[in-house]
Amino acid sequence: MIVDGEGVTLPWATGGATELRTKADDAERETEEAAAADSTLSELLATVRRTGVELEQDLTLFRKTLRSVLGRSHPDFQKLRVEKASKPDDDDDPNGPQPSPPVTPAPEPPQG
Q: Which domain, by its residues, includes 24?
A: 11-85
Residue 91: inside a domain: no
Q: Convert the pLDDT of each residue in 24-57 to its tens digit.
A: 999 999 999 999 999 999 999 999 999 999 999 9
Residue 34 belongs to a domain: yes
Q: What angle do CA 10, 13, 19 make, to 5 degrees?
A: 165
State residue 88's pLDDT score: 76
Q: How many domains does the chain have?
A: 1
**58 inside domain:** yes
Tell me, yes or no, whether 62 lies in a domain.
yes
Q: Which of 95, 84, 82 is nearest to 56 (CA)?
A: 82
In this prediction, residue 1 carries a pLDDT of: 62
Residue 38 pLDDT: 92
Task: Give me the residues paired with residue 9 across strands.
Answer: 3
Rounded distance between C-alpha atoms, residue 99 and residue 86, angstroms: 5
Kindly state whether residue 76 falls inside one of the protein's structural domains: yes
Domain presence at residue 41: yes
What is the tens place of the pLDDT at every residue in 77-110? Answer: 888 887 777 777 777 788 888 777 777 777 887 7
Which pLDDT score is estimated for 81?
81
The verdict on residue 102 lying in a domain is no
1 in any annotated domain = no
